[in-house]
């Protein structure tokens, strides 16, 4: 009480003092600013109108007018003072001083001394306020500003003691009055308050005894725990300081046995209580060591000191719940089939589970235990979502829960975290009243079946696509053959006509043919014929790729091939492309490579495709391409590595690059068939293609082809 009274008085005094201090600062700043502006105005006027031969010139005239004005100025209070000074060498020379009708000038001061700090800052060109020492070495509140027109400094200041004096007196007065009131209040408190306090303390001891001696845990809470008894601390296995200020969800598992999120459930229950609906429910709590205990909790709203709060009563039912669970297990065993039937069910490799409405395992066959890598006898009592998915709550699309709700057989598929695919069937078991009491879950591993079905579907699509590609290639090839056949004739015709047309142009001037002026047409027609030739060649190449994709020639036998010779031949075929793409092309051939067997032309097609891709990946001629051949003794294969320093392949594209019609070069004319055809040719030769790439650093392609052991031995 004393502290509150004194604190309140002190805060009031400090607030008033700060207000007065800020007002005094503003007053001094306004004074300095107005005086500086006035002096500069007078100086400018004197500079224009004072006679050049007047004693002291314009500066003296200005100073004289300022001194004359200050003779009629009362000042800034008892200690308020106005000074004007200039810097002369290393000295501060005062030109004007006005302090309560006192105009006597102080002596000059050194510029580097500790005194006259405000004037030193003003002469340095600074503007502002400070609490510091003036020329008398007294602590003052000062506002300072330079008078740039005359290279002077101006300061308005007042002693800090003058500002503080009334507040010190007021503080002493308030302190005295407060002390008198405190003494009077203390006497009154002893006379009236002490008996009431003793009565309240006695009542508090009684209620605290009742509160602490209960066999149930008791908690008082809002949205967090605010009070608890010792039994609550024992039930929750935590000290009081660890409970107060925390929410119920912090001492619970993430999800309750019914699958509800603990935090959401607690919020809903408290909301219902504060709406006037008492609650009684089962709740699972988690000890610091992870042990789960079962509690029966009752909640009701109470009013404490004008606040609406919730009174929670906790009763430990862990043992009774375990007894109920044991009873359910016993009942489950009673309902289990005979040993012969159990052996029959265990002989089924699929997973069979009998599940309760809480999704707990009542019974499981050996197939279920094997799928979970557990012992069959350890499964009852476990939640299926924990066993299968290591989850703490039921799956969103759980077929078993759906079967409990619908009462019908539910069928679907489920992806396991280990990559397997399971076919799930949920069969409801009903009692005599038609209520679903259990569900049998049958899970079959259909991973391989699913893979084979997908692969067959994919192969079927590719076969249809191949037939379509062959038909399209045939239809395109015929008209394109006519174009390629007629283009040379058109070139010869235009070449023969050009001299005649040139002569006509010289005789008659420019003329039009087919809507084009001859002077333009003479340049455009050869370019048009060249573009037609390139386009027809491109169509021909695409047709060849489509035919290859459709499987025109699958022969892989009959030729003994030297890999080095194969690579050298392929390199010669694309020499012009290599020279146009890079200044850094190198080859490194291992001597005396073992021979391979296959179709030379088709393998040459693969190598050409790899080199062309490397050339197209280079962003400029400074990047290089490096080709290496070697023998892998461990694998018994000849190896070709084509490495480029190109733009690389994005990580998400790398698994798709051998898929038919997948290309990242669609704009530049890529068909997406090159690597697909190359990959098929390599597989037909018993080899493999491996790709590794780093974006913006380059790509490395490794081609492995098996050595012909018979040729090698001979």
Q: Tens of pLDDT along 260-295?
A: 888 888 888 888 888 889 998 888 888 888 888 888
Per-residue confidence at 52, pLDDT binned at 50, 70, 90? low
**Element holding 700 (H helix, E strand):** strand 698-706
322-350 b/e (C-beta count within 10 Å ≥ 16 → b): eeeeeebeeebeeeeeeeeeeeebbeeeb
* Distance in angstroms (rounded) separating the CA atoms of residues 179 and 198: 26
**Element holding 143 (H helix, E strand):** strand 139-147
**212 to each of 207, 224, 227, 228, 580, how far by Cα in Å?**
9, 20, 11, 9, 92
Q: Alpha helix (H) ranges present in 509-551?
A: 518-549
* Distance in angstroms (rounded) separating the CA atoms of residues 707 and 493: 54
Please state whether beta strands 624-632 and 584-588 pair in parallel, antiparallel, or not at all (unpaired). parallel
The DSSP letter of residue 282 is: E
Tell me which residue of 655, 620, 635, 647 sits closest to 703, measured CA to CA. Answer: 635
- pLDDT averaged over every residue in the chain: 78
Q: Is the confidence at residue 644, as pLDDT, over 90?
A: yes
* Distance in angstroms (rounded) separating the CA atoms of residues 585 and 673: 26
* Distance in angstroms (rounded) separating the CA atoms of residues 400 and 391: 16
Please state whether beta strands 512-513 and 516-517 pair in parallel, antiparallel, or not at all (unpaired). antiparallel
92-120 b/e (C-beta count within 10 Å ≥ 16 → b): bebbbbbbeeeeeebebbebeeebbbbbb
pLDDT, average across residues 431-437:
86
Q: Is the confidence at residue 478, as pLDDT, over 50?
A: yes
Cα 422 versus chain centre, distance = 34
Cα 64 versus chain centre, distance = 73
Q: Is the confidence at residue 55, as pLDDT, over 70?
A: no
Per-residue model confidence as pLDDT tens digits over 332-358: 665 554 566 667 667 677 888 888 988
Per-residue confidence at 552, pLDDT binned at 50, 70, 90? very low
* Distance in angstroms (rounded) separating the CA atoms of residues 235 and 295: 9
Angle, CA of 15, 20 and 25, to the nearest 5°: 125
Percent of the chain with pLDDT over 70: 78
């Amino acid at each position: 009480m004393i502290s509150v009274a004194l604190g309140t008085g002190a805060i009031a005094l400090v607030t008033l003092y700060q207000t007065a201090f800020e007002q005094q600062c503003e007053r001094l700043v306004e004074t300095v600013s107005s005086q500086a502006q006035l002096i500069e105005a007078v100086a400018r006027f004197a500079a224009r109108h004072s006679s050049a031969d007047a004693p002291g010139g314009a500066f003296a005239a200005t100073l004289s007018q300022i001194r004359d004005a200050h003779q009629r100025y009362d000042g800034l209070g008892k200690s308020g003072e106005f000074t004007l000074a200039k810097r002369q060498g290393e000295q501060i020379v005062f030109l004007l001083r006005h302090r309560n009708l006192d105009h006597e000038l102080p002596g000059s001061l050194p510029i580097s001394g500790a005194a006259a700090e405000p004037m030193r800052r003003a002469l340095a060109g600074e503007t502002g306020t400070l609490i510091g020492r003036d020329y008398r070495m007294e602590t003052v509140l000062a506002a300072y500003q330079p008078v740039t027109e005359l290279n002077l400094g101006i300061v308005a200041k007042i002693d800090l003691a003058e500002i503080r004096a009334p507040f010190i007196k007021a503080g002493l007065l308030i302190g005295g009055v407060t002390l008198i009131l405190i003494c009077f209040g203390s006497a009154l408190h002893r006379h009236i308050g002490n008996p009431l306090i003793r009565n309240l303390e006695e009542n508090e001891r009684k209620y605290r005894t009742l509160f602490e001696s209960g066999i149930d845990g008791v908690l008082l809470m809002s949205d967090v725990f605010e009070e608890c008894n010792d039994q609550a601390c024992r039930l929750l296995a935590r000290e009081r300081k660890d409970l107060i200020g925390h929410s119920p969800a912090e001492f619970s598992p993430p999800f309750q046995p019914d699958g509800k999120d603990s935090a959401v459930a607690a919020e809903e229950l408290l909301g219902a209580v504060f709406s006037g609906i008492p609650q009684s429910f089962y709740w699972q709590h988690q000890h610091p060591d992870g042990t789960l205990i079962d509690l029966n909790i009752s909640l009701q709203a109470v009013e404490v000191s004008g606040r609406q709060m919730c009174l929670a009563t906790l009763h430990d039912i862990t043992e009774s719940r375990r007894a109920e669970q044991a009873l359910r297990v016993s009942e489950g065993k009673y309902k289990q089939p005979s040993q012969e039937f159990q052996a029959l069910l265990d002989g089924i490799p699929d997973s069979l589970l009998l599940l309760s409405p809480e999704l707990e395992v009542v019974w499981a066959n050996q197939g279920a235990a094997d799928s979970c890598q557990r012992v069959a006898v350890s499964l009852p009592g476990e939640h299926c979502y924990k066993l299968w998915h290591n989850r703490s709550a039921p799956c969103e699309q759980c077929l078993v829960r759906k079967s409990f709700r619908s009462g019908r057989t539910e069928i679907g598929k489920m992806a396991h975290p280990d990559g397997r695919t399971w076919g799930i069937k949920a069969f409801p078991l009903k009692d005599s009243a038609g209520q679903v009491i259990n569900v049998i879950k049958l899970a079959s591993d259909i991973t391989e079946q699913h893979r084979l079905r997908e692969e067959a579907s994919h192969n079927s699509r590719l076969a249809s696509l191949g037939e379509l590609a062959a038909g399209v290639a045939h239809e395109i090839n015929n008209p394109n053959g006519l174009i390629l056949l007629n283009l040379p004739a058109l070139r010869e015709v235009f070449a023969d006509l050009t001299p005649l047309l040139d002569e006509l142009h010289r005789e008659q001037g420019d003329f039009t043919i087919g809507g084009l002026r001859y002077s333009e047409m003479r340049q455009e027609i050869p370019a048009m014929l060249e573009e037609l030739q390139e386009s027809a060649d491109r169509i021909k190449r695409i047709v060849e790729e489509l035919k290859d994709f459709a499987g025109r020639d699958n022969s892989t036998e009959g030729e003994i091939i030297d890999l080095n010779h194969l690579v050298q031949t392929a390199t010669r075929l694309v020499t012009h492309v290599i020279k146009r793409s890079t200044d850094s092309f190198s080859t490194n051939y291992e001597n005396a490579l073992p021979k391979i067997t296959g179709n030379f032309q088709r393998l040459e097609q693969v190598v050409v495709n790899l080199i062309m891709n490397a050339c197209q990946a280079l962003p400029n001629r400074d990047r290089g391409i490096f080709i290496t051949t070697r023998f892998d003794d461990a694998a018994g294969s000849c190896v070709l590595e084509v490495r480029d320093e190109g733009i690389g392949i994005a990580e998400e594209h790398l698994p798709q690059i051998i898929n038919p019609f997948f290309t990242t070069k669609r704009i530049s004319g890529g068909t997406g068939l090159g690597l697909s055809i190359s990959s098929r040719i390599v597989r037909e030769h018993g080899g493999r293609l491996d790709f590794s790439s780093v974006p913006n650093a380059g790509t490395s392609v490794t081609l492995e082809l098996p050595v012909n052991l018979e040729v090698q031995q001979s």
